[in-house]
């Protein structure tokens, strides 16, 4: 199938305006008889379900958690970007567009990214109208801060809990639609299959996780808003339940998977403390506004951080990238940390960590406070105390979290941090209308591949999730459903539903009948280790080929030796997890194949064979300026289709933050 991205013709800045003015509409009476299924209730899903409910569609929303409010968007810390230019620092829609294209290392679509930048300002307006309590200045106006890969302050935030506040806003909107009867909510339900009729997505099979019963649900269209697949690495900053299952089922039903190897490794996470580790915790990128990253200049320096004098510290980001300093994009900062640790300069007991230090920020803020309060002559301790209060107000919850996890006081000693898997830029391939290659099946938010290229800039995930849900899908869905208004709801005793349910049932029975000796958790850990070692921050052809072989062997072992206790028709988290890990194993193979095929370095994808003399990523635009869209052709069989990226406005150049 030829890929058609359906980018509207015309100049970049008028594409979306033209689309909105000319797309087909569905009249209110017809909306009432059109049923929409929304899977996942994070920022993309909750905002889409609420908005479509408001418009009059009959919506069913599904989440595997006990409440839609728990989706992992809730954990996003730092902020959300918007081209408001409230700080008068030269921001504009074009600049946000340009930063995002460049940040993504020229592997995203201009049309999509420009639309994202264009609607960003509306998102902030919408959220404030809903009562999202963003941080404000004393004058009562909204406050901004900086994030990586930009030289303006365009990030809106609510302490270190921006994702929570935005999700609660969308969740409240969703609950309002539930109370009005426009949305039916199915919590503790997991989607296990897409049902296709005459080539179109017409519903899903979901499992009620409390009773274990399978359910059939019809929809004129199905929206997957199911997040990313970082948990393929076992250890990541994702929630324990975050999974690829819905997206993977869609993939096996014909939805192409775009750039699966594009993974974001976030530079500032709390390091692994031992084999027991179940997840990794992010320390927000916003900390790099004020924290300085360093390692000792001497190899194997075992002194306490506070005993190492200033001149013996290597602020390696400031040294290597003077223009952006500590605020280089995530991929660059992560690789730089790995380089220092691999070279023997790491700190902490594992030596796989670097310092994130707030001492100078605390004193700087302290002096400002002292000045404000007319205490110019205050002593060092008093200044320190005032500065500490300012830092506490900005980042208090993050510092508390760090202290609880590590038992150390980050106000006194620098944080130890190390990169960890955080986000996946890859995802289901979608066109400009967010539709996958299966008609009627859409993917929104992190679940799609569309806007971040090979590396996402900080504070842009929240922006994209809400852009897709609030401002894009309400138009693009209508444009397609306008042709579907004559389709009556299809009864779920249709043979396609019967067959899909049978397939799901067979797979569950097969999993339960293995009765092996090794736990699901153990298989997941083993998969994670292969992925991290061979498809992580540095990748090469040899390692990736080995990984494919190892993953296939792991898959065979899983399907012959996994042990799942309990029964099918009951609340059985081990069974839920088994299905997810089985899908992660298959996805892992595809990620390695994709990484193997792309013999260039771009963004978060670093092929060791393709780097400059000083170790920077080396792109190959001649050969790889495309989206790799993979089609599922049967077990371990994938065929790649290319969507060539045409840059009409931006001229791709070597990405430099020096």
Partner 1 sequence: MQHYNMNLTLKVWKQKNSKAKGAFETYKVSGISSEMSFLEMFDVLNEQLVAEGKEPIAFDHDCREGICGMCSMYINGRAHGPWHQTTTCQLHMREYKDGDTIVVEPWRANSFPVIKDLVVDRGAFDRIIAAGGYISVNTGNAQDANSLPIDKQKADESFAAATCIGCGACVAACPNTSAMLFVSAKVSHLALLPQGDPERKTRATNMIHQMDTEGFGSCTNIGACEAECPKGISLENIARLNREYIGAVFSGSAEG
Sheet containing 313-314: give its strands across.
263-269, 415-424, 354-357, 292-296, 313-314
CB 500, CB 222: distance < 8 Å = no
Q: Write down the least CB distance from residue 571 to partner 1, Å.
A: 4
CB of 648 to partner 1, least distance (A): 29
Work out how close the CB of 76 gets to partner 1 at its nearest, in angstroms, rounded to a whole number.
9
Distance spanning both ends of the chain, measured CA to CA:
42
Q: In the complex with partner 1, which residue's Cβ is closer, 132 or 547?
A: 132
Query: CA-CA distance, 481 to 521, in Å (whole number)?
Result: 42
Which is closer to partner 1, CB of 47 or CB of 100? Answer: 47
In the complex with partner 1, which residue's Cβ is closer, 521 or 621?
521
CB of 267 to partner 1, least distance (A): 17
Among 36, 6, 426, 447, residue whose Cα is nearest residue 249? 447
Out of 109, 145, 202, 330, the active site residue is: 330
Would you say 158 or 336 has its CB closer to partner 1? Answer: 158
Q: Which is nearer to partner 1, 15 or 577 (CB)?
A: 577
The CA distance from 329 to 317, in Å, is 11
Is 169 within 8 Å of 465 (Cβ atoms)?
no
Q: Count the neighbouring beta carbons within 10 Å of the beta carbon of residue 527.
A: 24
Strand order across the beta sheet in which 427-428 lies: 427-428, 257-258, 626-632, 638-644
The minimum distance between CB 392 and partner 1, in angstroms, equals 13
Q: Is 330 designated active site?
A: yes
User: d(Cα 588, Cα 411) in Å, to the nearest integer?
Assistant: 40
For residue 632, what are the β-bridge partners?
638
- Long-range contacts of the stretch 305-308 (C-beta < 8 A, 24+): 305/347, 305/355, 305/357, 305/413, 305/414, 306/412, 306/413
Minimum distance from residue 450 beta carbon to partner 1 (Å): 20
Closer to partner 1 at the Cβ: 400 or 608? 400
Looking at beta carbons only, is 119 or 354 nearer to partner 1?
A: 119
Indicate the residue among 124 and 587 with the shorter CB distance to partner 1: 124
Report, in Å, the least distance between residue 257 CB and partner 1: 25
CB of 497 to partner 1, least distance (A): 27
- Cβ nearer to partner 1, comparing 134 with 248: 134
Positive or negative torsion for Cα 258, 75, 353, 383: positive
Distance of alpha carbon 591 from alpha carbon 400, whole angstroms:
36
Q: How far is the CB of 330 from partner 1 (least distance, A)?
A: 18
Which residues touch 628 (CB under 8 Å, ≥6 apart)? 258, 259, 260, 594, 597, 598, 640, 641, 642
Buried b (16+ CB within 10 A) or exposed e, 355-390: bbbbbebbbbbbbebbeeeeeeebeeeebbebbbeb
**DSSP 3-state of 24:** coil
Task: Give exposure, 571-587, as e/b (b: 16+ Cβ within 10 Å).
Answer: ebeebbbbbbbbbbbbb
Distance CA 476, CA 474 (A): 6
* Helix pair angle (93-103, 110-130), 10° resolution: 120
CB atoms under 10 Å from CB of 27, counted, come to 11
Please tell me what DSSP assigns to residue 487.
Answer: P
Q: How far is the CB of 101 from partner 1 (least distance, A)?
A: 25
User: Which whole-number Å values give the CA distances from 515 to 299, 306, 553, 569, in the listed order?
Assistant: 50, 54, 18, 17
Give 179 or 644: the residue with its C-beta nearer to partner 1. Answer: 179
Which SS3 state, helix, strand or coil, does residue 330 take?
Answer: helix
Question: Which residues are tagged catalytic?
Answer: 330
């Amino acid at each position: 199938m030829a890929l058609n991205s359906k980018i509207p013709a015309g100049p970049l800045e008028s594409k979306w305006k033209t689309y909105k003015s000319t797309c087909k509409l569905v009249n209110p009476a017809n909306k009432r008889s059109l049923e929409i299924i929304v899977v996942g209730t994070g920022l993309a899903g909750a905002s889409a379900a609420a908005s479509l409910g408001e418009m009059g569609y009959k919506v069913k929303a599904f989440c595997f958690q006990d409440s839609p409010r728990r989706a992992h968007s809730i954990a996003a810390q730092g902020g959300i970007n918007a081209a408001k230019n409230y700080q008068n620092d030269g921001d504009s829609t074009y600049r946000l567009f340009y930063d995002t294209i460049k940040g993504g290392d020229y592997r995203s679509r201009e049309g999509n990214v420009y639309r994202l930048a264009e609607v960003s300002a509306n998102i902030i307006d919408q959220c404030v109208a809903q009562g999202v309590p963003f941080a404000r200045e004393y004058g009562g106006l909204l406050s901004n801060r900086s994030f990586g890969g930009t030289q303006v302050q365009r990030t809106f935030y609510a302490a270190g809990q921006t994702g929570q506040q935005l999700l609660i806003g969308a969740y409240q909107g969703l609950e309002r639609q539930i109370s009005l009867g426009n949305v039916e909510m199915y919590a503790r339900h997991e989607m296990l299959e897409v049902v296709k009729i005459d080539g179109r997505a017409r519903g899903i099979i979901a499992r009620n996780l409390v009773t274990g019963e399978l359910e059939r649900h019809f929809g004129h269209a199905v929206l997957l808003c199911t997040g990313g697949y970082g948990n393929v690495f076992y250890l990541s900053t994702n929630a324990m339940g975050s999974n690829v299952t819905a997206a993977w089922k869609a993939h096996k039903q014909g939805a192409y998977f775009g750039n699966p190897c594009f993974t974001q490794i976030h530079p500032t996470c709390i390091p692994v403390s031992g084999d027991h580790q179940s997840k990794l915790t992010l320390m927000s990128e916003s900390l790099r506004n004020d924290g300085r990253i360093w390692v000792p200049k001497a190899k194997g320096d075992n002194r306490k951080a506070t005993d190492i004098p200033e001149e013996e510290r290597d602020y390696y980001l400031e040294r290597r990238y003077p223009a952006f300093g500590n605020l280089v994009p995530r991929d660059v900062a992560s690789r730089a940390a790995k380089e220092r640790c691999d070279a023997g300069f790491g700190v902490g007991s594992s030596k796989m960590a670097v310092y994130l230090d707030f001492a100078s920020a605390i004193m700087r803020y302290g002096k400002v406070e002292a000045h404000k309060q007319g205490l110019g002559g205050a002593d060092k301790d008093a200044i320190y105390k005032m500065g500490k209060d300012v830092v506490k107000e900005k980042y208090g919850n993050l510092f508390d979290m760090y202290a609880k996890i590590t038992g150390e006081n980050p106000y006194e000693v620098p944080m130890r941090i190390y990169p960890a898997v955080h986000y996946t830029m890859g995802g289901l391939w979608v066109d400009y209308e967010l539709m996958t290659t299966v008609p009627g099946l859409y993917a929104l938010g992190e679940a799609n591949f569309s806007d971040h290229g090979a590396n996402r800039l900080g504070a842009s995930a929240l922006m994209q999730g809400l852009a897709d849900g609030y401002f894009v899908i309400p138009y693009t869905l209508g444009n397609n459903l306008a042709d579907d208004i004559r389709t009556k709801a299809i009864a779920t005793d249709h043979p396609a539903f019967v067959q899909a349910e049978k397939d799901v049932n067979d797979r569950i029975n097969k999993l339960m009948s293995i009765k092996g000796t090794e736990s699901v958790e153990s298989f997941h850990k083993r998969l994670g280790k292969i992925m991290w070692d061979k498809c992580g921050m540095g990748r090469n052809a040899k390692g990736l080929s080995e990984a494919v072989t190892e993953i296939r062997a792991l898959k065979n072992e899983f399907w012959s030796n996994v042990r799942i206790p309990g029964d099918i028709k009951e609340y059985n988290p081990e069974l839920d997890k088994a299905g997810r890990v089985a899908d992660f194993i298959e996805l892992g193979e595809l990620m390695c194949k994709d990484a193997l095929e792309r013999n260039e370095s771009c963004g978060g994808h670093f092929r060791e064979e393709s780097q400059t003399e000083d170790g920077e990523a080396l792109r190959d635009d001649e050969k790889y300026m495309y989206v790799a869209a993979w089609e599922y052709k049967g077990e371990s069989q994938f065929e790649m289709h290319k969507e060539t990226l045409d840059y009409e406005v931006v001229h791709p150049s070597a990405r430099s933050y020096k």
